[in-house]
Amino acid sequence: MPSRRPLRSAVVAAAVALLAVAVAGCGDSGGLRAAGATPTAISPAKLWPDLRPAASPAWPYDEGSRHTVKGITVPGDDIRAVDPVAVVRAEIASDPADYGSKGVYHETVNRMKACGAAGDGADCPLLKPYYRDLTGDGRDELTLGFRLYPTNQTALRVYTVEKHRLVQVLDDNDAIIGVELAGRAVIVRSPAGITGYEYRTTWAWDPDRQAMVFSRDEFLRTGKGRHHRAPAPVPVPALTPTSAPTTTTATSATSAPASAPAGA
């Protein structure tokens, strides 16, 4: 999981102060009123400046991939004319490691047999397809989802058309609460395993990679947990880059999980 960046408390405080001024001005003569003292901005303290920078990631990130789908034709380069059922079956046929008899998603193969010509059927794992321009070229892309059995995961795929070929530009499997399309981005909401929180991962179109790439990852409160108020800021000692013990004055600072980005 990518590292989270701390929120800048000074920016948040400034926004709250501006909102207080606006609210105070409602219903009066329009004169300015003091919003009270605001915290002094605290610049970031760089730790271990002599630390040798890492040359490679500790583990590979799923930054985005693309490949041409074999065995699928695109009549008239119209992606809406592509059969979603055939697209899923083409993926199954091309990946025996995942969908074979010993594969982690082997049960999906049998479920796909229940899919009718339109992708319907009570046991069909294919979800409703969606069409939207996610690359900015003025043409729709195909966003597909289908359940992966016997796991609790859902496959999320995005396809585009290039030179009469169907090209997959997003390949993601996850436990999914919901999926949203926003502009050129796909936002995936997933359970966090902690009551009252969820993960939101954003995939955005990258014209250089010609694929939907991981751009933002968030760990967010949903407001449905036991706690309904954000924790109050906790005073912490000011950072002093020295090895000798010193006495410092406590300053107010907060750190909260935020986005990395996808990139949500």
Could you tell me the two tokens for 65? 């991939």
Q: Residue 245 falls within a domain, yes or no?
A: no
- Weakest mean pLDDT among 36-45, 69-78, 166-175: 36-45
- If one counts the domains in the chain, the total is 2
In a domain, 12, yes or no: yes
Mean pLDDT rounded to a whole number for the chain: 79
Both tokens of 202, joined, read 């954003």
Give the residue among 182, 179, 198, 181 at the shortest CA–CA distance from 190.
Answer: 198
Give the pLDDT band (50/70/90) at residue 207.
very high
Does residue 168 belong to any structural domain of this protein? Answer: yes
131-152 pLDDT tens trace? 999 999 999 999 999 999 999 9
* Claim to verify: residue 37 and residue 78 sit in the same structural domain: no
Residues 50, 55, 58, 60: is their CA dihedral positive or negative? Answer: positive
Mean per-residue pLDDT for 156-165?
A: 95
Tell me the backbone φ, ψ of residue 162, rounded to 5 degrees: -135, 120
238: in domain: no
Alpha carbons 161 and 69: distance in angstroms, whole number: 10
Per-residue tokens: 210: 């010609």
Q: What pTM, to 2 d.p., does this model score?
A: 0.68
Long-range contacts formed by 184-190: CB under 8 A, 24+ apart? 184/134, 184/135, 184/136, 185/134, 185/215, 185/262, 185/263, 185/264, 186/134, 186/143, 186/156, 186/158, 186/212, 187/264, 188/156, 188/264
> Is 55 exposed, middle or buried (CB count within 10 Å of its CB: 0-12, 13-18, 19+)?
exposed
Q: Which domain holds residue 18?
A: 1-42
Provide the pairing of β-strand 165-174 with 67-68.
antiparallel
